[in-house]
């Protein structure tokens, strides 16, 4: 495997870094802070990326993309996450809402939703987790009941990122009861402007806009709002989760911060405790390993097949990396000189990384559930010829 992905990838990285340097303030730490100008920066930067054909680089040209390879899209993911995701919430529409619509949406749904995503004009949120159905998503109770030629949806979602600013919700609801809890689930595309929707922010150390409760009280949905087949939404969701979990290149930020530490510390680097330098080196190696695991899943995406076990293995590695790197970086930051602009930015970036890392093993599927998925995948794998039973 070519770890650098060749010369074209290097050129693309250079272009992305140039755009970030020109369009994003040097002290930018994400779109969802107490400063509303940070969100404005992200929204503007998404339009810049779209103008350069880089927001949805790997989408087919027919859907407003650049027709690039999944590897070029991976470069975009890495550079965005390494620089504190200056696309804001747009990564959700780019990484998995759009691709899922391409695979399962009707022609009308594609014409309606894909162009605004490709132009960076719309924010999506994900209506999955519920108060009693987090890791066990299939046990959700939000119900969509038949009402004439459509449905009325009632229930509650929780931990819904970006719900307070989103225009659309990718909502999973129960439409019938089957022999298994995974049966009878349906995906709906719901406008957040519906009067039956109430959003209540949840305060957290991650900052504004991230976490919300969302209440659905008789929200009206029609056949045109159904994504895929009624009662068969679980298969769509499984695909969504595989795309989502590899779509965030967490390892890229870990690698960038760890690699920056020696330069930021300067002469103090040689005076650090030997044990801390060893942990730094081991963690940097783990960041490179997580990157290779991500590439393995990306190669499967290129063939149109994503194995849940491989996606889970990557997810386990990268979320543990997030927390291990946060611990090492926090200790390193204590030795960083108090003077200097680059030193100040490094300490702020490490603090931001630490806050996000605390939730890494819970968000987007807990690490315990990822281990279960991986174990099931390994146990169900066909045995090689001659292997002992």
Q: Which fold has domain 126-232?
A: Butyryl-CoA Dehydrogenase, subunit A; domain 2 (2.40.110)
126-232 matches 249-379 in fold: no
Residue 107: phi and psi, rounded to 5, are: -60, -40
DSSP string, 232-300: BHHHHHHHHHHHHHHHS-HHHHHHHHHHHHHHHHGGGGGGS-HHHHHHHHHHHHHHHHHHHHHHHHHHH
Instruction: Determine the Cα angle at 89 with ends 162 and 153, to 5°.
Output: 40
Residue stretches of the chain with pLDDT short of 70: 1-4, 6, 134, 207-209, 242-247, 301-302, 304-307, 364-365, 381-389
- What does DSSP assign to residue 130? B
What is the distance between the alpha carbons of residues 145 and 130, in angstroms, rounded to a whole number? 18
What is the distance between the alpha carbons of residues 329 and 323, in angstroms, rounded to a whole number? 10
Q: What does the domain layout of the chain look like in residue ranges? A: 6-121, 126-232, 249-379
- What does DSSP assign to residue 382? P
Average pLDDT of the chain is 89
Output the pLDDT for position 179.
Answer: 75
- In this structure, are residues 88 and 31 in contact, taking their beta carbons and an 8 Å threshold? yes
**What is the b/e burial string over 12-36, where b = at least 16 CB atoms within 10 angstroms of the residue's CB?**
bbeebeebbeeebeeebbbbbbeee
First to last CA, the chain: 33
**What is the b/e burial string over 207-230, where b = at least 16 CB atoms within 10 angstroms of the residue's CB?**
bbbbbbbbbbeebebeeebbbbeb
Q: Which two tokens stand for residue 350?
A: 């490490």
Output the pLDDT for position 2.
Answer: 53
Q: What is the CATH number of domain 6-121?
A: 1.10.540.10
- What does DSSP assign to residue 68? -
Output the pLDDT for position 310.
Answer: 77
CATH 1.20.140.10 given to domain 249-379: yes
DSSP, collapsed to helix, strand or coil, labels residue 374 as helix
């Amino acid at each position: 495997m070519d770890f650098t992905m060749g010369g074209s990838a290097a050129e693309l990285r250079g272009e992305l870094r140039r755009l970030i340097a020109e369009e994003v303030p040097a002290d930018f730490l994400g779109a969802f802070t107490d400063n509303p100008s940070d969100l404005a920066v992200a929204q503007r930067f998404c339009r810049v990326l779209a103008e350069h054909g880089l927001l949805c680089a790997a989408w087919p040209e027919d859907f407003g993309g650049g027709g690039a390879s999944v590897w070029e899209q991976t470069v975009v993911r890495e550079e965005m996450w390494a620089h504190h995701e200056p696309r804001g919430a747009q990564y959700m529409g780019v990484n998995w809402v759009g691709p899922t619509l391409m695979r399962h949406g009707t022609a009308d749904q594609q014409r309606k939703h894909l162009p605004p995503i490709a132009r960076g004009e719309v924010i999506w949120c994900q209506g999955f987790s519920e108060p009693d159905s987090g890791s066990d998503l299939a046990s959700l109770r939000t119900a969509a009941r038949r009402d004439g030629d459509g449905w009325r949806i009632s229930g509650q979602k929780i931990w819904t990122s970006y719900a307070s600013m989103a225009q659309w919700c990718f909502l999973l609801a129960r439409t019938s009861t089957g022999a298994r809890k995974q049966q009878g689930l349906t995906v709906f595309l719901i406008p957040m402007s519906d009067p039956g929707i109430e959003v209540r922010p949840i305060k957290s150390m991650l900052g504004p806009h991230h976490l919300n409760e969302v209440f659905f009280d008789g929200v009206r949905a029609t056949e045109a709002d159904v994504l895929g087949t009624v009662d068969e939404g679980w298969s769509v969701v499984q695909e969504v989760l595989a795309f989502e979990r590899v779509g965030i290149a967490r390892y890229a930020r870990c690698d960038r911060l760890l690699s920056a530490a020696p330069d930021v510390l300067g002469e103090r680097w040689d005076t650090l405790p030997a044990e801390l330098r060893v942990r730094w080196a081991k963690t940097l190696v783990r960041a490179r390993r997580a990157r290779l695991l991500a590439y393995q899943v990306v190669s499967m995406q290129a063939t149109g097949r994503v194995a849940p076990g491989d996606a889970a293995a990557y997810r386990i590695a990268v979320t543990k990396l997030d927390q291990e790197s946060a611990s090492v970086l926090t200790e390193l930051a204590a030795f960083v000189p108090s003077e200097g602009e680059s030193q100040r930015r490094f300490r702020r970036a490490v603090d931001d990384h630490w806050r996000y890392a605390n939730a890494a093993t819970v968000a987007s599927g807990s690490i315990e559930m990822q281990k279960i998925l991986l174990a099931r995948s390994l146990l169900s794998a066909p045995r090689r010829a001659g292997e002992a039973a």
